[in-house]
Structures are given as C-alpha cells and as structure tokens.
Structure 1
Amino acid sequence: MAKLDRLLALVHALSETVEGLTLDEMAERLDVNRRTAERMRNVIARHFDLDEIADDRRKRFLIRDSLRRVYTRPTAAEVAALQAEVDGRILAGQNARAEQLASLLAKVKGALDDREKRRIDPDLDALARLQRTMVTAGPIAVVAPETVTTIQSAILCGRCVEFHYATDERPEPRWRRVIPYGLVHGPLTYLLGKMPGRVDQPVYFRLDRMTAVMVSDTAGCAPDDWNLDVWLADSFGVWRDDKQEVVLCVPASSAPRARQWRFHARQQIEDLADGSLRVRFATGGMRELAEHLFTWGGEIVIEEPDILVAVMRERLAAAMTMLPSNDMRPILSQDAATG
C-alpha cells in the first residue's frame, strides 16, 4: 500500500499548502524522483481541481478547496441527468414535479463558484444537448405546483387534506377530507388518502382533479407501520381488485427477454426442463395486467387465474372494434399466417 499511502499524502500536502508545491518539492516530501512526482500529480489532477501558479520559471500546484468539497461537488454528468429529468417532466406536462426538480437544479448550479462552472460548462453543454428523457404517449394532466406543496405540508405536520374532487362520472366537485397516506408519481400524480374514522382501504385521488386544496385543522397521519411500497405491490397498477395468484408461461424462444423483464416486484421465476419459464406473482389489477400482457402477444400463455383469461378476452374483443368496419377478418393463427 506504499504507493497509495504516498498518493494520499500528496493530496493532503497540496490541499494544506498556501503557496503551492513545485514538482521538486513534491518529490522531496515523498522521497521519490521527479518523474514519479509528476505522474502522481497527473493522477491527482484528474480527480481534483489542481491550480497551477507561475513562480518565475517554476510552476507551483495546490488544491484550493477543502477535501470535503471535492467529494460533494456535482459532476457535469450528474447535473445533466437532473436537467434531462426536468426537461422530460415539462414535456410530459408534469409541471408540479418539474418545478420542484427545477428548483433543485437551480440550487445545485447556484452552489457552484465561477471556477467550478467554467470547469463543467463545456461537458454540461454537450451532455445536455444530446441527452433526453423519453416522453411516451399518455394522459395530459395539469397539476398546480401549490397542490403538491400543500399535500406535502399536510404530511409533514400530521394533518388531513381537504379539497373538492370531480370525476368523469361526477363532474360536479364534492368536498373531501382525507388522511394523506402518500403521494404516488407517474404519468399521473395521485394522493393516496383514507377517510378519517373509517376502516376502508386508502384510495387514489388524481391531483389534476382537485381544487381548493388546503391543509385541514383535523389531525391525521398514516400509521407508523404503514408501508407504501407493500401497498403498491398488491396491485399491478392503479386499479385495485381482489388479489389473484398469477401464473404465466414463457416459451423458450422468449425466455431471454422475460428474464430481463420485471412483471411484478414480487415475481418468482421457475426454469422448466424444455427451456421455458414459469413466472408467478400475486397481485390485483387484472385489467391493467391484461393490457400489459397484450404487448407480449405470441410470447406468453396465461395459465392462471381464470379471471385474467376472461379479462384478456374482453380486451381482445374491445381491440377488434378499433379495426375499420369493412375489415372484420378473423385473427389468423401463427401457422396460418406463416403458411
């Protein structure tokens, strides 16, 4: 470990000096030759902001910042990743989340001094120009930023949230007071809330359908043993129904793809003798699961439960209605299609 010991000693020496060290002084301190000191300086320069000071014909080097700041300073790649996330949220219409992330990005950039900005700006410009968060097809739902901050404030102070809520079936808003059990972000943002004094399970409320959101005077917070991740895993998506034991069979030809796919957080994969796979997990939300499995057509067989098979038949029938009225040909089997 002698080489590492000398390298760390040089890092500390360069950070503690005020006037800087020449290569000869580095070599003398470490008891190495000048060429070795030069190589060590080059390694340190790749990881630290090493300042170079002209002293007559000699050059002196030093690390101006404290060592702690070196390890907490963001890199160009980290700032660019946050920038891409902000831009993606804006393009997706998720303005509430975008505003919070943009505020964080501004604080990260504001914490950089001029020298640090000059150091990362060239790389940041290149990465930001050629890096994007993909925005796929999905709902457009505008959420007021103050809605998110109000709900977060209620969570922090242990109080209920009050709001007026409308749905497609009931466009006339109705007043609600719920205990906040969590915020769930995705293509849409939901408040998971439960009516005070009731034994019902928490339900989802879309933030874009809320108006007049405020922190209630009524106390209310999720139990200490409440686990949001466990609750979310009980359903495939937003819709919740009775939990079912799902069994999917994947043929050997599609097994490599399935091994790199997450159907459910608690899935179990069983290898079969013919190279195929059997995937098992327990979840609710059969409609959303069926619509996801639709994209695996020809690569997965639903073995259980019967209700998932029935829902898949319903979704297939619904999909047929999207065809032109003059094109109601039956769906060909794989053999017929290739024959």
Structure 2
Amino acid sequence: MARMEKLDRLLTLVAALGESAEGLTLDEMAEVIGANRRTAERLRDVILVHFDLEERIDDRHKRFRIPGALPSPFTQPNVEEIAALQSVAAMQRRGGSAQAELLESLLGKVQAGLRREVKSRMAPDLDPLVRLQRHHVPAGPMIEHAPETVAAIQGAMMAGVCLEFDYRAEGASEAKWRRVVPLGLIHGAVTYLIGKIPGRDLDPVPYRLDRMSEVRASNEPGAAGEEWDLDEWMSRSFGIWREEGHDIVLRVAATSAERARRWRFHPHQSIEEDGEEVVVRFHSGGLREIAEHLFTWGGEVRIEAPEELREVMRERLDAAQASLKKEPL
C-alpha cells in the first residue's frame, strides 16, 4: 500500500509540473502531494532523472516545471473523468444551462482525441458509470439560453469591450437599449450577466440572459479591473438579488444541529455551539431568499436577528396561509 501511495504522489507531481505555466516551488510541490518539503525534494530528484526539469529563480524562490507537452499517459483522461464530464454535461442540458452546449462540445473533443484501442478498452467501464450516475436537477425555471448570447458576452469579456443589448425588464412592455461593462456570468437554473454602466458611479446589476436580445460587442472599451472579485460580490447576498447587507443570526434546534454543522448557508458563515443548539452567523442581503430557504428546515431554525428578516418571514408565511385559504377550483 505504501509503494502505491509513493507512486501516486510521483505521478501527481509529474502532472502538476507539466501543467504549471509558472512552475512550482518546493513548498507548492509538497502541498500538491500532501506531504512535507523533504518528500517533495526526493520526488523532484527522481523526476529530474527522467524528465527535462526546468529551473528558474522567481523572487528568490526556485521554481520547477516540465516544459513542453507531457507524454500521453500523463495527459490522457481516464474513464472516471470522462464519465464525470458526461454526467455534468447531461445535467446542465436537463437544467437548461447556458453551459450545456460548451460542455458537450468539450466532451466530444476529449473523446475524439482518444486512440481507437483506448476507446475500446474504456467502453465496458464507461457504460455503467454513465448509465448509473445522475446529478439531481431541483425544481426550478425551465429557461433556454441562446448559445450565441453566451458567445457574444464571452467575446466581449475577452476583447475588453463593453456589451450592448436590448433588455426587457420584468413587467416592462418593451425592451430598452443597454450598454454595460461585462463583469461576469453566473450560471444556474437562470444565467445572469453582471454588468456595470460605464462612466457612472453605480453598483453592478444582474441581467437575465433570457430577457436580452440583439446582443453585440461594443466599440467602447470596458473590462473588469484587476481589483474586481466576482466571488466577493456574490457573497454579499444570499442569492442573486442585491440589497443592503444585514448581520444574520440563526439558531438551529438540537434535533437539526448535526445537519447544520455540515450545511453551507453562506460562504462567510461562522458556526457556534450553544449547548445542544447551533448558532449560525453571516452578513448578507437577500432577505426574501433567506426566508424562503428557511422553509426547508421545517421550523427547526429560529431567526434571532435582524428584525427585518423576521418581518420578511412573516410576509412569506402570510402569503402561504392565504394560498391555503383559497377554495380549489
């Protein structure tokens, strides 16, 4: 078992050194293989015997990389990787994701690059992995996104120019022209473009792709700055809608405490033990989305703060009770 573990570390490190454009320090190599620096040094010396290992100094640190393309045994996908990609592509297709076509195209290219004998050897194992695995697609909107819309947005991002389109907001009778700096795409049941109006001190706004038309790249320069962090922007709200952030405090009953310890309410949450109960804290907007999520906990979560969230929960409860009082047709 120990010999297999050493071989696995060696092959993992070879792949990492071949994939890295900047090269890896010894500390980074140790992190990749989950070992100490001395082990990384020993494996580096073994690799040096069999590969052309390039060494350079960067900010007083030695970096190592294997230049050029690695032999096919190190770059050829295995059957589990192909099955995982095929499963994700199928899930995205069933969910109507804008990324489905891209993933299916990638899958086709990966499979086309395999030698005939490799495909034949993989086929018996690939069939059960694909046939007996599924990604759950939860209930949600069924929205088709035009591939050309995604392509136009990505093209504007790569070119560093603004994006122009006609947008029909919810409840509006007609579409209006927009020009924005494309700051990101958020994929899900509904795909959103995050855009900022150039030259104005306004916050970025989400635009639904299915409400966009006549999408084209602009002649006006406009690109996300180096300081822009899409993940940080997303973490300011519980869902997609933007509003002023609140300090959220939720108390989870003892009967659901174990579930809460393994639950991600928010990327920047903190979890505290309070007797047999659990207290979850995070800062976020999106009070309606938080309230509607708490319905799934069946009364096991109590809102301790803020009062604004308690008020939104009361409104959602009133709406639910009102629907129950209506007589069936």
TM-score, length basis structure 2? 0.77
Deviation at 1:128, TM superposition (A): 1.0
Once residues 260 and 144 of structure 1 are traced to their aligned partners in structure 2, the CA distance between those partners, rounded to angstroms, is: 37
Residue number in structure 2 paired with 1:86: 89
Deviation at 1:71, TM superposition (A): 2.2
Output aligned runs, 1:164-179, within 5 Å. Answer: 164-179=166-181
Instruction: Describe the SS at the equivalent of 2:323.
Output: coil
Deviation at 1:324, TM superposition (A): 4.5
Residue number in structure 1 paired with 2:18: none
Alignment identity in percent?
50
Deviation at 1:67, TM superposition (A): 7.5
Residue type at the aligned position of 1:277: V
Mark the structure with the bigger radius of gyration. 1
Deviation at 1:136, TM superposition (A): 1.7
Residue number in structure 2 paired with 1:162: 164
Deviation at 1:297, TM superposition (A): 2.5
CA deviation profile, 1:168-212 (whole Å, cap 9, x unmatched): 311301111000010111111000000111111000000111111
Residue number in structure 1 paired with 2:305: 304
Unaligned runs of 5+ in 2: 12-68
The ranges of structure 1 where at least 4 consecutive aligned residues each deviate by more than 4 angstroms after the TM superposition are none
Output aligned runs, 1:76-225, within 5 Å. Answer: 76-94=79-97, 96-225=98-227
Asked if structure 1 preserves the Cα contact closer than 8 Å seen for 2:149 and 2:215, the reply is yes
Once residues 219 and 179 of structure 1 are traced to their aligned partners in structure 2, the CA distance between those partners, rounded to angstroms, is: 8
Once residues 319 and 221 of structure 1 are traced to their aligned partners in structure 2, the CA distance between those partners, rounded to angstroms, is: 44
1:316 maps onto 2:320 in alignment = no
Asked if structure 1 preserves the Cα contact closer than 8 Å seen for 2:161 and 2:222, the reply is yes
Once residues 138 and 237 of structure 2 are traced to their aligned partners in structure 1, the CA distance between those partners, rounded to angstroms, is: 22
Once residues 126 and 277 of structure 1 are traced to their aligned partners in structure 2, the CA distance between those partners, rounded to angstroms, is: 41
CA distance 1:113–1:323, change in 2 (3 Å): same
Deviation at 1:298, TM superposition (A): 2.0
Unaligned runs of 5+ in 1: 12-65, 328-339
Once residues 3 and 114 of structure 1 are traced to their aligned partners in structure 2, the CA distance between those partners, rounded to angstroms, is: 32
CA deviation profile, 1:3-51 (whole Å, cap 9, x unmatched): 78xx99xx9xxxxxxxxxxxxxxxxxxxxxxxxxxxxxxxxxxxxxxxx
CA distance 1:127–1:195, change in 2 (3 Å): same
Once residues 143 and 186 of structure 2 are traced to their aligned partners in structure 1, the CA distance between those partners, rounded to angstroms, is: 14
Residue type at the aligned position of 2:166: H
1:268 maps onto 2:241 in alignment = no
Once residues 247 and 312 of structure 2 are traced to their aligned partners in structure 1, the CA distance between those partners, rounded to angstroms, is: 15
Aligned residues: 266
Deviation at 1:79, TM superposition (A): 0.7
Q: Which stretch of the first structure deviates more once superposed, 302-311 or 148-157?
A: 148-157
Residue type at the aligned position of 1:316: L
Match of 1:69 among 52, 69, 72: 72
Residue type at the aligned position of 1:217: N
Instruction: Describe the SS at the equivalent of 1:322.
Output: helix
CA distance 1:304–1:68, change in 2 (3 Å): same
Asked if structure 1 preserves the Cα contact closer than 8 Å seen for 2:94 and 2:137, the reply is yes
CA distance 1:301–1:3, change in 2 (3 Å): closer
CA deviation profile, 1:202-233 (whole Å, cap 9, x unmatched): 00000111111000000001111000000000
Instruction: Describe the SS at the equivalent of 1:239.
Output: coil
Instruction: Describe the SS at the equivalent of 2:99.
Output: helix
Residue number in structure 2 paired with 1:54: none
Once residues 77 and 129 of structure 2 are traced to their aligned partners in structure 1, the CA distance between those partners, rounded to angstroms, is: 14
Residue type at the aligned position of 1:303: E
TM-score, length basis structure 1? 0.75
Taking only aligned residues, the RMSD between alpha carbons, in angstroms, comes to: 2.1
Once residues 75 and 171 of structure 1 are traced to their aligned partners in structure 2, the CA distance between those partners, rounded to angstroms, is: 52
Residue number in structure 1 paired with 2:287: 286
Residue type at the aligned position of 2:72: R
Instruction: Describe the SS at the equivalent of 2:276.
Output: coil
Once residues 271 and 240 of structure 1 are traced to their aligned partners in structure 2, the CA distance between those partners, rounded to angstroms, is: 30
CA deviation profile, 1:300-337 (whole Å, cap 9, x unmatched): 1100000000000000011112215359xxxxxxxxxx
Residue number in structure 1 paired with 2:249: 247
Residue type at the aligned position of 1:75: N
Once residues 104 and 67 of structure 1 are traced to their aligned partners in structure 2, the CA distance between those partners, rounded to angstroms, is: 20
Asked if structure 1 preserves the Cα contact closer than 8 Å seen for 2:96 and 2:189, the reply is no
Residue number in structure 2 paired with 1:63: none
